[in-house]
A = this chain, B = another copy of it.
Amino acid sequence: MTLARPVFFVSDGTGITAETLGNTLLTQFDGLEFDKTTLPFVNTAERAKNTVDYINFVGQQTGHRPLVFSTTVSDEVRTMLRQVDGLFMDLFDLFIHEMERELKLGSTHAQGRAHGVADRRRYDERIEAVHYAMEHDDGASTRDLTRADLILIAPSRCGKTPTSMYLALQHGLYSTNFPLTVDDLEQLRLPLALKGLEARCFGLTSDPERLAQVRSERRPGSRYASLEQCAYELRQAEQLYRRRGIPYVNSASMSIEEIATVVLQEKHLRKHGYPGA
């Protein structure tokens, strides 16, 4: 009885929704250890039976009743999964009937919709957005810059690149990012390529200590990573943002997801229908 409690995310699709659901709930329980396993594409009666056998086996081996988070559209598969010797929690079980009553419409029971290619045109656009964001990372290209939905600007290592990629991948945004160089910061000016594009800009700052730590991992002992240099660059960046009326956020204690959420809200850029929107 000393092993971590087994947790399973089961789905007839990718399992992403089951993971999101389960992990969100599990963050609310401190001091317990969980051993998590994702079982995707459980979309036939045979796979459902094998899944139940496997989960029961793990439960017996560990001496812990497993927690099972499921998002299974097929009634047949779900009915079988429910037999599992564990706490079975299914998203569809709980909400879909309420929604059917409210919408006065039966649900389709179609599998693999949440994270599949639901809309080919929109999906292809999203892929184009990822390629665009790759090409335009860190000011690498000024081609087609007027196509950008968003231009993230910041001193080096404040989180521009991951945030930009996240917004392209999860929200299908044509997202670019430009570094503010020491020259830009000294003269409180935007990179020349961004002339006329101020309205698409969003700034990032950080805390000097945090920035110095991140930069030190790259170039330990350098002037670039010194607390003094980081403090100077951040001070100048904030002054530049304020002077140009560019919205900005301090990313020091925020995750990519939190930064992205703030950017989407501030710039009114949320396009619904993408995986992360």
- Expressed in whole angstroms, the Cα–Cα distance for A131 and B127 within the complex equals 19
- Given the complex, which residues of B lie within 8 Å of A258, measured CB to CB? 13-14, 112, 115-117
For this chain, the copies found in one complex come to 2
- Expressed in whole angstroms, the Cα–Cα distance for A29 and B28 within the complex equals 31
**CB-CB under 8 A for A96 and B169, given A30-B108, A134-B134:** no
A145 to chain B, nearest CB (A): 19
A166 at the interface (CB under 8 A from B): yes
**Contact assessment for B255 and A27 in the assembled complex, using a CB-CB cutoff below 8 Å:** no
**Contact assessment for A253 and B102 in the assembled complex, using a CB-CB cutoff below 8 Å:** no
- Knowing that A31-B105, A116-B254 touch, tell me 16 more A-B residue pairs with CB under 8 angstroms: A5-B103, A14-B260, A19-B276, A24-B91, A25-B91, A27-B114, A27-B118, A29-B107, A29-B108, A38-B264, A65-B102, A67-B99, A89-B98, A117-B255, A127-B162, A130-B162
**Residue positions of A touching B, CB distance < 8 A:** 5, 13-17, 19-21, 23-25, 27-32, 36, 38, 40-41, 65, 67, 71, 73, 87, 89, 91-92, 94-96, 98-99, 102-103, 105, 107-110, 112-118, 123-124, 127, 130-131, 134, 137, 159, 161-162, 165-166, 169, 214, 217, 253-258, 260-261, 264-265, 270, 272, 275-277
A–B pairs, 29, beta carbons within 8 Å: A13-B258, A14-B257, A15-B261, A16-B261, A16-B276, A17-B21, A17-B24, A20-B20, A25-B96, A28-B73, A28-B96, A28-B110, A29-B99, A29-B107, A38-B264, A38-B277, A87-B98, A87-B102, A89-B99, A112-B258, A115-B255, A116-B254, A116-B255, A116-B258, A117-B254, A117-B255, A130-B161, A134-B137, A257-B275
